[in-house]
Every structure is written in structure tokens, then in C-alpha cells.
Amino acid sequence: MFSFRNRYEEMESYRRKTNFIRFLEGLLIGNLIGIIVGLLLAPKSGKETAADISNEAQKWIQKGKGAIPNMPDISKLKFAKKSDESNEDIELSDEHFEKINDLA
């Protein structure tokens, strides 16, 4: 059955989503304009700025490559920790279950 309340809620949900998308679009456009203006007004020449950007990008790439070999070890440690926590939770729930059975 048609309900004005449901229709209002649908429209309100759509409005919120639309507003959020517009906000993100404005944020993206504002950032792009800021980058372009910053590059145009930079005190260095275009070649120097491009070289600086390239050097920074290479630094970040090297940092990323240095972190990747450690990922399996980090993942194993996190998995082991979560596994231990899960086992403790299972043991605790088993104890509670036994106490409940003893009371019944």
C-alpha cells in the first residue's frame, strides 16, 4: 500500500545521498583547482617542480616496496593473535555453558 511516510523517507534518503555526492564533487573540484593554481604560481620553474614531484613519488614508491616484504609476517602475527583471542572466547563460552547446564 502506498504510504506518504515511506515515500518521504525514500526522498529524504535520496536527498542525503545527493548532497553527499555534491559535497564530494565540490571537494574534488576544489582540490584540482588548488593544485593547478599552486603549480602555476609556484616559485620554481615547471621542470624543477616536475622533478620535485617525481623525486617525492620515487621516495614513496621505495617506502612502499620496503613495507611489502614485511606484510606476510605482520599478517601472520595478527592472525595468530585473533586466533588466540577466539580460542579464549570459545573456552569462556564453554565454561559459561557448563555452569548453565549445572544450574539446570
93 pLDDT higher than 70: yes
Q: Do 29 and 61 belong to one domain?
A: no
Give the residue with greater pLDDT, 69 vs 79. 79
Give the residue with greater pLDDT, 5 vs 82. 82
Q: What is the pLDDT of residue 69?
A: 72
32 pLDDT higher than 80: yes
Q: Do 84 and 102 belong to one domain?
A: yes
In the chain, how many domains are there?
2
Q: Do 70 and 82 belong to one domain?
A: yes
Q: CA-CA distances (angstroms) from residue 42 to 27, 28, 38, 45, 56? A: 22, 21, 6, 7, 16
Q: What is the pLDDT of residue 60?
A: 87
Q: Do 20 and 2 belong to one domain?
A: yes
Give the residue with greater pLDDT, 4 vs 102. 102
Q: Do 49 and 81 belong to one domain?
A: yes
pTM beyond 0.85: no
Q: Do 67 and 104 belong to one domain?
A: yes
What cell numbers appear for 6 in the block? 515511506
Q: Do 75 and 61 belong to one domain?
A: yes
Among 102, 80, 81, 83, which residue's Cα sits nearest to residue 91? 83
Q: Which range of residues forms the domain containing residue 91?
A: 45-104
